[in-house]
Every structure is written in C-alpha cells, then in structure tokens.
C-alpha cells in the first residue's frame, strides 16, 4: 500500500478540493445528480479509507489526522463531503461486532470500495434511538423484518443497509439487532424521497420492510447488541466528524466573505472598511476557532482510547449551530448577489442546514450533555453525604 506522510496527504487534498472537486460541484448542481465517476475517483485516490486501520486495508491515519483532512474536504460540494465522511466512519460500526467471516464478507470490501453500505436507523414514527419500532422475529436461519426506515442516505447506491431493529416483544435497549440487509432482499421496497434543500444529488430513501427475510449470518454481534453497534461504533466518532465538517464549511464561508469584503466597493470604499463588517468577521473567526478546538479535544480523547459520548455531543451541537451563524453572516456580507445560485456562498448556506439533522439534532445532543451534568452532580452530592 502506498505510504504518504501527513503533509503529503494535506497537499494532495488541498489540490483536489481546489481543482477536480470544484469542477464536480458545478456539474452536480447543474444536473442534480452525483455521477458514479465521483465515487470512483474518491475511492481511487484513497480518500474513502483514510481512517480505517492498515490491517483492514485502510491508511491508518489517527482520528485527529483524519479530521484535519476532513476540514479541508468540507470545502467541497456537500454531497462529496458526505461521501468522504460516511465512508470513513461506517467501517467502525461494521467492524465493532463483526466475526472473522464477516470481516471478509463486509468490512474489508467496504473499506476497499468494493461494497457500499449505509446507516439505517431513522424511522418515520419514532426518534433515532431506543424507541425504534421496526421488528424482527427469528425463523430458522433467517430473521423476518417488518417496519419502515426513512431519510436513509445513499439509498440509490447502497449494496447493503446496516439496519437497526428489535426482536418482537422487546422495548428500550433490549433485543436490538444490527442486520446487514442486502438491497435485493425479499420483502424490501426502496422508495426515493424528494430532493433535499441542500447536498444536491445525494439520494435519500424511504425503506418499507414487509416480511423481509434476512439471513441470521448477516447479524453483527449478538441479539441485544444493536444499539451498541449504532452508538459506540458509529455515532460518537461520526458526530465529532460532523463537527469538523462544520468547521471546514464555516472556514470556507469566512474566506469567501472576507474576499468579497475586500473587493466589493460601495460608497467609494471596500466593505472591509465598514466597522460592522469587521465585527462580523471577528465573530465568525472566533466561532470557527472555538468549534475547531472543541472537535479536536474529542478527537484526541478517542485516539487515546477514552469514551467521547459527551464530548462528541458537545462538539456536534456547538459546531452545527456555529455553522448556521457563520453562513448567515457570510451571506449577509455578500448581500443580494450571494442569494443567487451562481454564488458559492448560496450553496454553502443551503448545504449547512443538513448537519443539524445528521446523527441527532441539537436537542438530542443537549439531552446527552444534560444527563451527564446531572449524573455528575448527583454523584458529587452522594460523595458529600457519605463524607
């Protein structure tokens, strides 16, 4: 496998984002579709397996290193950013409970780009966690699955859906399953949803499972391990990574706004001379710097082997809301011309809204954080009472 220094990776990614990726962005916005050639190019360049271990066929970058590259990738078109992010994240879920045989069937082909899978948790009539309603019952060597999933990304290209459901008659975290459901599974119907507000060309799907039959051999881990595969394997690092994609998109927005402020002349002087514009730029830069450090703090903890559930929620919550503030100010600095689709800031503004939904809303992150704050306070009170 090709060996590169981190500096070489950074230079390569910067050149790609400024060149080929910019050309792809124009084509995607014009056609409303992500060509298969984009997937192939990203895979051929090694961008879809940066974070995976070398033993699995990846390049073995640390999480911090990967996130520093992801910040650069986030300046790309939103759909291309999503491809890089998901493919560099989902292997953790697949590998977390995979048997040796499943490593060969699913994990290594996924990392190599020979197999595409997508995270399949969200449902129309429930949240994205322990209240999942899609059920399964075992019949011999198969599970019979019934339920619905929606807003499932890459539904048009996925070979497998990493689907989370529960055994019939169970509730909460009990009896949850992680199943690799093949695209051609009997009883699976895939309906494509309407185009989204942003991330043009990324197809989301509504999955309907009616007595859908899935081999028991496609279960990752044991019965009851489903939510652990979802949350420990994928969501914590993925939430942190989303935080860094917000940092990258916000930095690009700041760069565009700054350049516009320096070149746009009104009433005889550049916008950059206006004090209010200077104040906005200062606020934007500070917001970005704070989010970047919060994300890197969580990433360093993951590299050191610590749990980052709360840190990931903090990073995602702050960074996604930061991105809204920064893109709003950036669009305001651009004025009327920034509102038209010919403007890059217009696309960044639309794409930015998606991150607040990915891997749980800000409200979900706040629940995770508040629970930790209260648990620590209760523990401290109990220690005082014992003392």
- Buried b / exposed e over 321-358, threshold 16 CB at 10 Å, is bbbbebbebbbebbeeebeeeebbbbbbbbbbbbbbeb
* pLDDT for res 292: 98
* pLDDT for res 2: 57
Ranges for all domains in the chain classified under CATH 1.20.140.10 = 228-377
Please report, rounded to a whole number, the percentage of residues in the chain having pLDDT higher than 70. Answer: 98
Task: Please give the structure tokens belonging to residue 315.
Answer: 């990073």
- Measured CA to CA, the distance from residue 94 to residue 233 in angstroms comes to 8
Interval 20-37 mean pLDDT: 95
Is residue 129's pLDDT more than 80? no
Model confidence at 268, in pLDDT bands (50, 70, 90)? Answer: very high
Domain 6-112 architecture: Orthogonal Bundle (1.10)
Between 273 and 197, residue with greater pLDDT: 273
Q: Class of the 228-377 domain?
A: mainly alpha
* pLDDT for res 29: 93
SS3 assignment, position 294: helix
Between 128 and 210, residue with greater pLDDT: 210
Tell me the catalytic residues. 359
Is residue 10's pLDDT more than 90? yes
* pLDDT for res 356: 85
Write out pLDDT tens, residues 133-169.
999 999 999 999 999 999 999 999 999 999 999 999 9
Interval 15-30 mean pLDDT: 95
Ranges for all domains in the chain classified under CATH 1.10.540.10 = 6-112
Is residue 128's pLDDT more than 70? no
Model confidence at 316, in pLDDT bands (50, 70, 90)? Answer: very high
Domain 117-223 architecture: Beta Barrel (2.40)
């Amino acid at each position: 496998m090709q060996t590169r220094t981190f500096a070489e990776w950074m230079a390569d990614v910067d050149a790609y984002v400024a060149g080929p990726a910019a050309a792809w962005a124009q084509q995607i916005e014009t056609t409303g579709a992500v060509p298969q050639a984009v997937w192939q190019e990203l895979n051929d360049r090694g961008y879809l397996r940066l974070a995976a271990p070398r033993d699995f066929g990846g390049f073995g970058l640390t999480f911090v290193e990967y996130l520093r590259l992801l910040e650069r990738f986030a300046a790309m078109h939103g759909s291309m950013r999503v491809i890089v992010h998901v493919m560099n994240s989902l292997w953790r879920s697949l590998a977390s409970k995979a048997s040796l045989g499943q490593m060969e069937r699913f994990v290594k082909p996924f990392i190599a780009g020979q197999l595409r899978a997508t995270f399949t948790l969200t449902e129309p009539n429930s949240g994205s966690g322990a209240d999942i309603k899609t059920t399964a019952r075992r019949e011999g060597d198969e599970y019979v699955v019934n339920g619905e999933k929606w807003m499932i990304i890459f539904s048009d290209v996925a070979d497998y859906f990493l689907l989370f459901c529960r055994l019939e008659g169970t509730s909460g975290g009990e009896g949850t399953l992680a199943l690799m459901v093949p695209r051609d599974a009997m009883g699976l119907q895939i309906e494509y949803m309407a185009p989204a507000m942003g991330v043009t060309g990324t197809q989301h799907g509504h999955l309907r499972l009616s007595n859908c039959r899935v081999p028991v051999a496609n279960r990752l881990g044991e019965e009851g391990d489903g939510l652990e595969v979802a949350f420990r394997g994928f969501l914590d690092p993925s939430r942190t990574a989303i935080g860094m994609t917000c940092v990258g998109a916000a930095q690009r927005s700041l760069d565009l706004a700054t350049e516009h402020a320096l070149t746009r002349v009104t009433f005889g002087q550049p916008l950059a001379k206006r004090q209010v514009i200077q104040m906005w730029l200062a606020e934007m830069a500070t917001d970005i710097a704070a989010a970047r450090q919060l994300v890197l703090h969580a990433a360093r903890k993951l590299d050191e082997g610590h749990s980052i559930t709360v840190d990931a929620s903090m990073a995602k919550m702050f960074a996604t809301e930061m991105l809204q503030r920064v893109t709003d100010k950036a669009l305001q600095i651009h004025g009327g011309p920034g509102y038209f689709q010919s403007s890059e800031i217009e696309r960044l503004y639309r794409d930015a809204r998606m991150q607040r939904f990915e891997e749980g809303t800000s409200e979900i992150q706040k629940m995770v954080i508040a629970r930790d704050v209260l648990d620590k306070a209760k523990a401290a009170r109990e220690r005082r009472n014992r003392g």
